Amino acid sequence: MRFIDEAKIFLKAGDGGNGCASFRREAHEPRGGPDGGDGGSGGSIVFVADPQLSTLSDFRYRHEFKAPRGEHGRGKDQYGKSGEDLLVRVPAGTLIMGDDGEVLADLAQAGERFVAAKGGRGGRGNIHFKSSINRAPRRADPGEVGEERWIQLELKLLADVGLIGKPNAGKSTLLSKISHARPKIADYPFTTLYPVLGVVEPRPGGRKRDFPSFTVADIPGLIEGAHEGAGLGHQFLRHIERTKLFLHLIDVSDPEGQDPWEAYEEIRRELKAYHADLLKRPEWIVFTKIDLLADRKEIARQRKKFEAKKKKVFPLSAATGEGVKELVDKLAEAVKK
């Protein structure tokens, strides 16, 4: 299934039903009086954050949503039935914006609701206009028109941990080892074309210490200029805005490649250019692919640089499993706190 994180849709709430102008006509009731009922209200369009959804793919082909209108009022004091609200389910973490970009609602938590288009009120029947001087009112109100508008949806993934780093740093491999997620993995850059969420269960049943499961988001690799759209661009940078902790993955396996500290600084510049507040987020450093190192002393040399900047460092190999369990246990403890 293709990952969709943006959509533009049209909403039309239901119109209210018309009020009825009617008079009671029964045997032995020559002047029965007005008995026209009210029209029913139109249905509203309500967005609901659904934890079972993870993309906006439902809006890929459907761009128009209409709620049912209210029934018209009838004689014999019969009121029209109101139209049912149309519930539109979106993933938790969805921003709802007006056509001008103004944020109308932020459905960050599962179960949150927002009325995006309000249904029209039903018109009054002529029973409401009877008075001492007007015993046979022929007036009835029409129903109000339901709201209609264009809105934009933008998804920002909700995750406890976000995996960031340059392309081919080993993010997808790590996610596949610690969760049931199955991102695409290959020996070339940009194999991850959209964010992938995985649920990590650090201590399955039978253990004394109870650590809850947590979610990890694999963000497509970032390169210099990503905040301006380079590579896979800034459309995926927004997905790390709501993660509680960054795991910054750095490939230390190639001695002829980019210096790990330079690679780290390059990604930090992109984060700052996109949103300076991201630099304040808790961040751990993960050295990946250490099984490919010819000289393990390189780990200590690089580790010294990062720890001098008070960064937590975790060397590991997702391929062999070395260091993975230690990282998961530490993440579980951090998330629980």
d(C-alpha 51, C-alpha 92), whole Å: 6
Q: Which pLDDT band holds residue 115 (cuts at 50, 70, 90)? A: very high
pLDDT at 3: 52
Q: Indicate if the pLDDT at residue 60 is higher than 60.
A: yes
111: helix, coil or strand?
A: coil
Q: What contacts 242, CB < 8 A, 6 or more positions away?
A: 93, 108, 156, 157, 158, 159
Tokens representing residue 7 in the block: 């959509």
Q: What percent of the chain shows pLDDT beyond 70?
A: 85
The pLDDT of 129-141, averaged and rounded, is: 89
Q: Indicate if the pLDDT at residue 1 is higher than 70.
A: no
Q: Indicate if the pLDDT at residue 131 is higher than 60.
A: yes
**What is the chain's mean pLDDT, rounded?**
84
Q: Indicate if the pLDDT at residue 159 is higher than 60.
A: yes
Q: What percent of the chain shows pLDDT beyond 90?
A: 45
Phi, psi of 226 (to 5 degrees): -60, -35
Q: Indicate if the pLDDT at residue 222 is higher than 70.
A: no
Q: Do 166 and 224 contact (CB within 8 A), yes or no?
A: no
The pLDDT of 127-132, averaged and rounded, is: 89
pLDDT at 209: 55
pLDDT at 208: 43
The pLDDT of 125-153, averaged and rounded, is: 92
pLDDT at 235: 56
Helices (H), 194-311: 260-274, 297-307
pLDDT at 191: 47
Phi, psi of 46 (to 5 degrees): -120, 125
In the chain, what are the domains? Answer: 1-155 (2.70.210.12), 161-336 (3.40.50.300)
pLDDT at 231: 44
